[in-house]
Amino acid sequence: MSEHVIEISKNGHDSTTPLVLLWFSARWCGPCQAMAPVLELVEEVYSDTMTVIKVDADQQQTLVKEFGIRAVPSFVLLARGGIIDARSGATGYKDLSQWLDHHLSNTPD
């Protein structure tokens, strides 16, 4: 996951990639741990168009509140202009990549 310092808020991001995927997770969350390999693959496959940032929901309460996160795992997709979409719950790579591809095809660079 990204270790770069990227400014993120509900109003957008300053990443060099068109999209940022925030993955809200917690150490104690079994489904979050199961999502780790899926998100590693997403990060690899979408590296040219998307930055994946893992957010520890217990450590980053300000972001949890700002983005209205109520459950983990949760995913927030950000463009430079703000939130595009959000979803929660564990899912497989195929479902997650279809969601991402849909938004990538509708997001200007």
- Catalytic positions: 29, 32
Angstrom distances, CA of residue 26 to CA of 21, 46, 93, 100: 16, 23, 19, 22
User: Which pair of tokens denotes residue 77?
Assistant: 């997709």
Measured from the Cβ of residue 28, the count of other Cβ atoms closer than 10 Å reads 10
CA distance 16 to 48: 9
